[in-house]
Structure 1
């Protein structure tokens, strides 16, 4: 027997991406896409060409050099500056704020102990 009620429609798929800085998964529309074209990473809008990475569009904490270094390496300062310049003045860091310590801005592996204690 046929029923007059319409078939349930499945929920539309919403693509999700992961922020390269904070590793949080969110809908793709909540990110700024960065593309690597010609060996240089830069924010991109419109046509999607080149290797891509996503950064939270509404979180200035994710735009800090130290957080971007894992994904962008030596280009992290330029990417950070491009993201800050692209945002409005409400997202710019306060110049009178506390300075970032060197250990926070440049992550590195702990040094190896070379005192011979590993030998018997």
Structure 2
């Protein structure tokens, strides 16, 4: 009865995946570059180094599925860049838009479209 809903979702998912493919490959390559040679999970250093790329991928996906969260992140990011303060606290290296990134991630999880590569 509702089989056509699944096909539309799958088509959209494939379209979004294709649209965000370049960002995703940059993130995956960054994780590989910072991973340990034994094949263990990426280190904390890798997480910090690739954090901006991860946010970029989340933004790409959320711009299609979670428009409000995506726009809030854009406003925060542009505001932080224009002020020259991408980090709230330089000692701890806390990013200024971390709350918006969490909201985008939460929204994508709710919609069940968060890519496997982005799950921590």
Superposition TM-score tier, normalisation by shorter sequence: under 0.3
Structure with the greater alpha carbon radius of gyration = 1
Normalized against structure 1, the TM-score is what?
A: 0.27
Q: Which has the higher contact order (CA 8 A, sep 6+)?
A: 2
* Structure with more of its chain in strand, by fraction: 1
Normalized against structure 2, the TM-score is what?
A: 0.27
